[in-house]
């Protein structure tokens, strides 16, 4: 069982064991604990596009930034749309005005950089957050992988972008696969299974898809599908850490879009290169 561990300074933040041993980076995964939001968004909601009060979300993000003695603008958070677009964060992007940068981040579900002192982040509430650090090229990535992104090979597209931009190598990558909905709780329709198989995802194994008898529906394991994708791309199995934490089950710790429907907050998972 891999439950992740609490941040040494903040018990409401979680960390991966392997990544926390690397001095060159900082990383975190938030829980729903420690913020100011109320009701179903209680309390550490990071989701800008939820129906929570914008003031509460702002305050929550400010609390997070202060934990790392940083500015809120140092946290790069794309406007995810369940696509597969990868955005490189470079000096040119960082010099854009606020409105333009927000426009460019719309429809982005993966971010990569080799710039220091900027947290690359993704928001999730059942989908899979994946963070990557390349030890040799000193590049990082943060990926949001729901079933659509997984089906669209967002992990492969991200690693390809890291290879092209930073001369990264999968063999040098350390990866954390964060809290997400478990296979047991993630039932999908036959059309989802068909789409994934049509895109070359192997769902023949019970560890990735348990089909319901006399029904097109099934239970899929998004974490395991992405873990296998990473291995197929050349990442060492020993360098991938996957948490068992289920966002649907652990309602005291996590928001869950499936459990809470539209009234769900979002967690934030981030990684940063230290200067």
Percent of the chain with pLDDT over 70: 100
Give the tens place of pLDDT for each residue, 158-193. 999 999 999 999 999 999 999 999 999 999 999 999
pLDDT at 144: 99
The per-residue pLDDT for 92 is 97
Is pLDDT above 70 for 46?
yes
> For residues 135-162, b (16+ Cβ closer than 10 Å) or e, as one string?
bebebbbbbbbbbbbbbbbbbebbbebb
pLDDT of residue 1: 58
More confident: 51 or 148: 148
Give me the pLDDT at residue 236, please. 98
Q: pLDDT over 90 for what percent of the chain?
A: 95
Q: Which two three-digit tokens encode residue 30?
A: 């938030």
Taking only the tens place, the pLDDT of each residue in 82-121 is 999 999 999 999 999 999 999 999 999 999 999 999 999 9
pLDDT band at 204 (very low <50, low <70, confident <90, very high): very high
Angle at 99 between CA 274 and CA 111, to 5 degrees: 40
Is residue 115 within 8 Å of residue 89, measured between CB atoms? yes
Residue 49, pLDDT > 90, answer no
Query: What is d(CA 25, CA 140) in angstroms, rounded to the nearest whole number?
Result: 9
What pLDDT does 167 receive?
Answer: 98
The rounded mean pLDDT for the chain is: 96
- Which pLDDT value is given to residue 212? 87
Is the pTM for the entire model greater than 0.95? yes
Residue 112 · residue 87 · CB < 8 Å: yes
What per-residue confidence (pLDDT) applies to 138? 98
CATH of domain 5-181+238-273: 3.60.140.10
- Measured between its terminal Cα atoms, the distance across the chain in Å is 33
User: Which residues, in sequence order, are CB contacts of 201 under 8 Å at separation 6+?
Assistant: 150, 151, 225
Looking at residue 263, its pLDDT comes to 86
Angstrom distance (rounded) from CA 25 to CA 23: 6
Alpha carbon 141 to its chain centroid, in Å, reads 10
- Residue-range domain boundaries for the chain: 5-181+238-273
């Amino acid at each position: 069982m891999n439950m992740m561990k609490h941040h040494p300074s903040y018990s409401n933040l979680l960390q991966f064991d392997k990544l926390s041993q690397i001095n060159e980076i900082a990383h975190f995964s938030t829980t729903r604990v420690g913020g100011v939001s109320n009701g179903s968004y209680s309390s550490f909601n990071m989701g800008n596009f939820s129906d929570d009060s914008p003031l509460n979300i702002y305050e929550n993000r400010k609390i997070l930034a202060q934990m790392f003695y940083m500015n809120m603008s140092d946290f790069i958070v794309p406007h995810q749309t369940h696509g597969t677009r990868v955005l490189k964060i470079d000096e040119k992007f960082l010099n854009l005005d606020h409105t333009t940068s927000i426009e460019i981040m719309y429809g982005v579900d993966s971010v990569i950089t080799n710039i220091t002192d900027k947290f690359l982040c993704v928001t999730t509430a059942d989908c899979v957050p994946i963070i990557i650090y390349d030890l040799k090229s000193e590049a990082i990535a943060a990926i949001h992988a729901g079933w659509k992104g997984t089906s669209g090979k967002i992990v492969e597209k991200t690693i390809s972008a890291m290879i092209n931009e930073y001369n990264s190598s999968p063999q040098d990558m350390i990866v954390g696969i964060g809290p997400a909905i478990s296979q047991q709780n993630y039932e999908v329709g036959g059309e989802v299974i068909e789409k994934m198989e049509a895109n070359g995802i192997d769902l023949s194994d019970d560890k990735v898809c348990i089909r319901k008898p006399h029904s097109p529906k099934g239970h899929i394991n998004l974490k395991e599908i992405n873990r296998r994708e990473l291995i197929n791309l050349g990442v060492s199995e020993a360098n991938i850490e996957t948490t068992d934490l289920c966002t649907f089950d652990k309602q005291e710790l996590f928001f869950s879009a499936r459990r809470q429907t539209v009234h769900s907050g979002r967690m934030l998972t981030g990684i940063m290169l230290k200067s």
